[in-house]
């Protein structure tokens, strides 16, 4: 440490800062590093069905996974699911943010109402939508049937997928909305006015000025939404479809659970979670590497 930077340090000795950091470090250690290390370790072993013995298997768990057509299916399904969730929630929240940015009267009320879904746990969001679209008790579900649509997400895999995508995206809209709105409000009004004088109409102003200036925010949110869709949507899927019907909504994170906790294939499940961990690390890396740098203003 150079003398200049040590002179700025607010702590005289090293004990106090360590003590202040300790609770957070302990939590991270116990709830993050320990399970992570165990997952990596378990992914290298094969355990017998009764959990009595395990033997070292090297990368056998991983090679088995990529040979398993069902795993590859789940992988592709996850990609589709997260692209759909991110796409729907990002575009709807951008639309809402642009609208909310223009509202003058009652703006606070709109914003508060738009933020509320974020306070709901993913599982509850799923259950709520399940009650709305349930084929025999949901208002919308019964309306579908009344219109002659063969609506039953309990039997139809595509409909089930649509439902979990919708519920997962709906919950994330609030989060994206806050960031988009903040991004929109940080664009100086005079830029819009300058563009108006420069002959750009509202649509052109959005395309040429607003969107490029929002792009760092949009990219950040894209990464956050993908991570959300990959990992945090477990609750939605578990509550609404439990991965069914016939695995049609089983995304990677759900397969980790069903293979490990239900199927008791500890090694295979651990290998899957290690792969998920690598994906998250890669996404986070991309985010720090490119997002921080691309901010324009």
Partner 1 sequence: MAQVTLDTIRKSFGDTHILHGISCAIRDGEFIVVVGPSGCGKSTLLRIVAGLETATSGSITIGDRDVTKLEPKDRDIAMVFQNYALYPHMSVADNMAYGLKNRGMPKAEIDIRVKQAADILQLGPYLARKPKQLSGGQRQRVAMGRAIVREPKLFLFDEPLSNLDAKLRVQMRVEIKKLQQRLGVTALYVTHDQVEAMTMADRLIVLKDGQAEQIGAPLELYARPETIFVAGFIGSPAMNLLPGEITEGGAVRLTCGPTLELIEPIPNSAGRKVLLGVRPEHLSVRPGGTFALTVDLVEALGADTLVYATLADGTAFTARLDGAQVVARGDNLALSPTQALHVFDAETGKRVN
Mutual orientation of helices 157-185 and 69-102 as an angle, nearest 10°? 40
Instruction: Annotate each residue in 211-230 with x if it binds partner 1 (CB under 8 A) or - if it does not, as one string.
Output: -xx-----------------
Contact set for partner 1, span 143-172 (CB under 8 A): none
Binding status of residue 140 toward partner 1 by CB under 8 A? no
Binding status of residue 188 toward partner 1 by CB under 8 A? yes
Contact set for partner 1, span 78-107 (CB under 8 A): none
Binding status of residue 293 toward partner 1 by CB under 8 A? no
Residue closer to partner 1, measured from CB, 48 or 208: 208
Residue closer to partner 1, measured from CB, 67 or 296: 296
How would DSSP label each residue in 95-115? HHHHHHHH--TTHHHHHHHHH
Q: How far is the CB of 199 from partner 1 (least distance, A)?
A: 4
148 dihedral zone (left: phi>0; alpha: psi -120 to 50; beta): left
Residue closer to partner 1, measured from CB, 214 or 252: 214
Q: How far is the CB of 203 from partner 1 (least distance, A)?
A: 12
Binding status of residue 191 toward partner 1 by CB under 8 A? yes
Binding status of residue 193 toward partner 1 by CB under 8 A? yes
Question: Is 184 in contact with 97 (CB distance < 8 Å)?
Answer: yes
Of 46, 85, 181, 195, which lies in the binding site for partner 1, with binding defined by CB under 8 A? 195
DSSP state of 272: H
Other Cβ atoms within 10 Å of 7 Cβ, number: 8
Binding status of residue 48 toward partner 1 by CB under 8 A? no
Tell me the CA distances in angstroms from 252 to 9, 75, 233, one per residue in order.
45, 6, 11
Residue closer to partner 1, measured from CB, 184 or 276: 184
Binding status of residue 208 toward partner 1 by CB under 8 A? yes
Of 26, 95, 109, 196, which lies in the binding site for partner 1, with binding defined by CB under 8 A? 196
How would DSSP label each residue in 206-233? IIIIIHHHHHHHHHHHHHHHHHIIIIIT
Other Cβ atoms within 10 Å of 297 Cβ, number: 8
Residue closer to partner 1, measured from CB, 150 or 198: 198
| Nearest Cα to Cα of residue 274 among 27, 31, 12, 42 | 42
Binding status of residue 68 toward partner 1 by CB under 8 A? no
Cα–Cα distance measured from residue 45 to residue 51, given in angstroms and rounded to the nearest whole number: 12
Binding segment for partner 1 among 35-43, 108-116, 206-214, 227-235 (CB under 8 A)?
Answer: 206-214
What lies within 8 Å, CB to CB, of 8 at 6+ separation is none
Q: Which residues bind partner 1 (CB under 8 A)?
A: 188, 190-191, 193-201, 204, 208-209, 212-213, 296-297
């Amino acid at each position: 440490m150079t003398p200049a930077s040590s002179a700025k340090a607010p702590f005289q000795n090293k004990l106090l800062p360590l003590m202040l950091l300790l609770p957070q470090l302990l939590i991270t250690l116990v709830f993050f590093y320990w399970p992570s290390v165990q997952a990596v370790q378990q992914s290298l072993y094969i355990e017998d069905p009764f959990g009595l013995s395990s033997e070292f298997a090297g990368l056998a768990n991983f090679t088995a996974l990529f040979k398993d057509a069902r795993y590859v299916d789940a992988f592709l399904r996850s990609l589709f699911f997260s692209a759909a969730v991110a796409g729907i929630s990002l575009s709807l929240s951008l639309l809402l943010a642009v609208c909310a940015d223009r509202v003058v009267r009652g703006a606070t009320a709109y914003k508060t109402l738009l933020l509320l879904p974020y306070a709901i746990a993913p599982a509850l969001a799923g259950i709520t939508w399940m009650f709305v679209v349930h084929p025999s008790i949901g208002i919308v579900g019964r309306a579908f049937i009344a219109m002659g649509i063969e609506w039953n997400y309990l039997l139809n895999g595509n409909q089930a997928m649509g439902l979990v995508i919708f519920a997962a995206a709906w919950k994330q809209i609030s989060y994206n909305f806050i960031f988009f709105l903040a991004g929109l409000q940080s664009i100086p009004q005079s830029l819009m006015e300058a563009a108006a004088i420069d002959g750009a109409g509202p649509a052109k102003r959005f395309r040429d000025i607003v969107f490029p200036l929002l792009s760092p925010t949009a990219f950040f949110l894209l990464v956050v939404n993908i991570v959300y869709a990959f990992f945090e949507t477990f609750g939605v899927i578990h509550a609404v479809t439990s991965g069914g019907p016939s695995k049609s909504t089983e995304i990677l994170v759900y397969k980790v659970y069903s293979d490990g906790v239900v199927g008791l294939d500890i090694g295979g499940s651990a290998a899957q979670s290690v792969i998920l961990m690598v994906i998250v690390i890669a996404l986070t890396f991309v985010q720090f590497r490119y997002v921080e740098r691309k901010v324009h203003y």
